[in-house]
Structure formats: structure tokens, C-alpha cells
Structure 1
Amino acid sequence: MKIRRITTTVEEVHSEGGRPVDPPARVAVVAAVIDNPWAGAGFVEDLAPGIEEVAPELGALLAPRVVEALGAPVEAYGKAAIVGLDGEVEHGSALIHTLRFGDHLRKATGAGTLLPAVEKRAPAGATFDIPLKHITDATIRSHHQTTEARVPDAPRPGEIVVALAVSAQGRPQARLAPLGSEL
């Protein structure tokens, strides 16, 4: 795996809806810009060798960094990939939709639910809206949220940006009824 860049962003929301958020709502995102292991190779039928080579190492790198950056117990999480224009969306999916990647964050957080994801192909500077859900119960509505992330000069055509996002709480000022209560 060739890494060009790693970015870390931590956001704190101190006010929402004109009211203070106490304690401030924290969200952290760590993104790695890597060479796409399949770019330029034409159509690759079997992605498994590249997955085995890259996904476990990438998960092991990003998971502890994002948990440490948050600086608080993780309550919600998500993952994302943006593939540069010389790749396929499937290349990003191959790296993030494997237990060899996601289990690093599940183990680091004590999570048991499916890790929500987004992936796309885009030019450098594209943003992703990373979905987050509660780490142990995906039906907890307050934790259904999204955070925006971007690496200004990535992905270049032969790169992939892979990111993990975590939050220390649900949405600031969440007040929707429990999921299914309106039925």
C-alpha cells in the first residue's frame, strides 16, 4: 500500500438551533489517500489479492487514529471511499466492504452493528457525506447522522481516498421519537 497523505479532522458543535450543546458534539474523520492498486491494469476480474494486500493494513492504520482523534467514547461510526477517475467504484467498495477493513474499527469501539458506508468515483477535491449510525443498535434514531469530509487535492486519477468517521454522541439537539413509534 502506498500512502500519499493522511488527514484528520475533528469538529465540535457548540450551538445548534440557537441553543448551546453541552458538552459540545464531537465528530472525527481520518482519511488516507492511497494509490489505487487496480488503476491502470484494465478490468481486473479478481480483486481478492488487492483486497488481501491493502484492506487489513488500511483498517489497522485508520481505526486507532480516528478513535484517538475523537478523544471520547465512540457512539456512532461510518466509512467511505472516493475512487479517482482512472478507477472503478468497485475498487473503493472492495477496500471498505470487507471485514478485513471494518473489523478494526468494530474491535476498537466495541461495536456490533453494520458499519454504514458511501463510495463513489470523483475528481480531486470531491466531498463525501459519510453516514454514521450507532455502534451497537442501528435503530437508535438520534445517531443517524452525516458528516462531510474532503481532501482538497485527492483523489488524483490513480488514487483512492478511504475514510473512517466516528462521533461521541447522536445529532445535537436530537428529539425525534424512537424508530417505528409512529406506526
Structure 2
Amino acid sequence: MITPRKIYTIVEETLLEGGRPVEPAARVALVAAVIPNPWHGQGFVEDLNPGIDETASAIGELLAPRVVEALGTTVEAYGKAAIVGLEGEIEHGSALIHTLKFGDHFRKAAYATTLLPAVEKRGPAGIVFDIPLKHITDATIRSHHQSIEVRLADAPHPGEIVIALAAAAQGRPQQRLAPLSTEQ
């Protein structure tokens, strides 16, 4: 198991939207682990599976219960991210989050059935990224299509990866789009 250098927990509550109260407050939680890139300094690695096997499940197991606990209520929407430091490949982040070994921990903790929407990106410490979120059982429910913007001032360092999970207790505040079925 790779030991994270840092773990961030962020909880956002929206109390007003469009000049109107949001009741109950719209709540989104994020937990991110800053880990060493398992392939850093090895040049081009053809077979990423050993690093996936050593890392993905353990990171998913670490983050999933933390984000559900931080949200403090039932998860209705969720998403994930992998932000790779400048000395890594985007594929390194993708390898860790696009496997059932990682994602199934969150799906089980959230009682979810859909694929987790994701963002992968490479950049310096402090890079801004958005984690997309969708409904946990039906990705066509438009009210739950949303995102959370994240910036971690001290991560990722060049040889690190930020792995993050985000959860929302509801759809967008004050959402009023008609269901997708009305356009079909």
C-alpha cells in the first residue's frame, strides 16, 4: 500500500442559489489523497497492471468511506478524478481510477450502479480541476449532472498523483430542467 503524503477533505454547502434559499442546503463532499506515482522514474512502462494491483484497490478502500462520511447523508451523485504531476503520464492516473478494483469501493459505499464520471489531467501543484458528478443509479437524470471545482495548493508534486472522490447529497440547487425523456 502506498502511503498518501496528504489527504484533503472538503465539504461545500450551498445555502442560496439564484437569490433564493436552498432548503435543505445543497451539500457536496470531496476527499483527495496525494500519493506517489507508482510508475515515477521508470520511463515508459508497458504493463501498468502490477502498479494497479498494488495501489488501486487500497486507494479506493481508503477514500470511499471517507467521502461518504464527510457528506454525512445519502449519496445521490458521485464522481472521481486523477490529477497527475508533471513527471507522469495521464495514463498513470487513468490506470488507477478506471478499474473496478478502485471504483467498486465507492459504488458499494454509495449503493450505486452506474459508472463513475471522471476527469484525468496532468499539471503542476495548484492546478484547478473540475470533478463531474452524475446520479448514482441513472446517468440520464439531468438534475444530478453537476461538478465541483477543486484546487489543492500543494499538490500534485511532479512525481505524485492526486486521486479524488466527490459525492453530492442531491442534484443541482434550484434545478428546473425537464427530464430527458421529455425530449425523446
Normalising by structure 1, we get a TM-score of 0.99
- My pick for the range that moved more, 12-21 or 172-181, is 172-181
Q: Which residue of 2 aligns with 1:139?
A: 140
Supply the distance in 1 between the matched residues of 2:18 and 2:121 (Cα, whole angstroms). 32
Q: In structure 2, what is the equivalent of residue 57 of structure 1?
A: 58
Separation in 2, partners of 1:137, 1:165: 17
In 1, Cα distance between equivalents of 2:135 and 2:114:
8
> How many aligned positions are there?
183
Equivalent position of 1:77 in the other structure: 78
Q: Give the distance between the partners of 2:19 and 2:3, measured in 1 at CA.
A: 45
Aligned residue in 2 for 1:151: 152
- Structure 1: 5+ residue runs without aligned partners? none
User: Which residue does 1:89 correspond to in 2?
Assistant: 90
Ranges in structure 2 where 5+ consecutive residues have no aligned partner: none
TM-superposition CA deviations, 1:28-47 (whole Å, max 9, x none): 00000000000110000000
* Separation in 2, partners of 1:145, 1:180: 19
SS at match of 1:132: strand
Which residue number in structure 2 is paired with residue 107 of structure 1?
Answer: 108
Counterpart of 1:20 in structure 2 is: 21
Aligned residue in 1 for 2:9: 8
Moved over 2 A (4+): none
Instruction: Calculate the TM-score normalised by the size of structure 2.
Output: 0.98
CA distance in 2, matches of 1:95, 1:150: 20
Say if 2:171 is the partner of 1:182. Answer: no
Query: Aligned partner of 2:94: which letter?
Result: S
**Match of residue 67 from structure 1:** 68
Task: Report sequence identity in percent.
Answer: 74
Q: CA RMSD in A?
A: 0.7
How far apart are residue 181 of structure 1 and its match? 1.6
**In 2: Cα distance, 1:76 partner to 1:124 partner:** 27
Q: How many Å separate the matches in 1 of 2:136 and 2:60?
A: 17
Rounded to whole Å, the distance in 1 between the matches of 2:72 and 2:181 is: 33
